[in-house]
Amino acid sequence: MTAASARGVARLVADAAHGIEVVVTRHHKPVAAVVGVERLAELDSIAEDLRDLSLVIARIAGDDGRRTSLDDVRSVFG
């Protein structure tokens, strides 16, 4: 019997609401996690920050230093 099934759904939800995170396993492999809504929002925010950071790093890595003035852009595109 796994810890998740021993606790029951109501207890898992109550624990998650109080900040206790539980990893649910199947055949000894993690398949899900039960976390509170605040923690989920925190993880979503962290994931968004990491996506933004990866874009910044990619842009810095590919920056060759060349810049195009607004006047040059206007002359080409009107």
Q: What pTM was estimated for this model as a whole?
A: 0.66
Residue 7 confidence (pLDDT): 76
Exposure string (b/e) for 28-66, b if CB count within 10 Å is 16 or more?
Answer: eeeeeebbbeeeeeeeeeeeeeeeeeeeeeeeeeeeeee
pLDDT digits (tens, 9 = 90+) for 8-45: 888 989 999 999 998 988 899 999 999 999 999 999 99
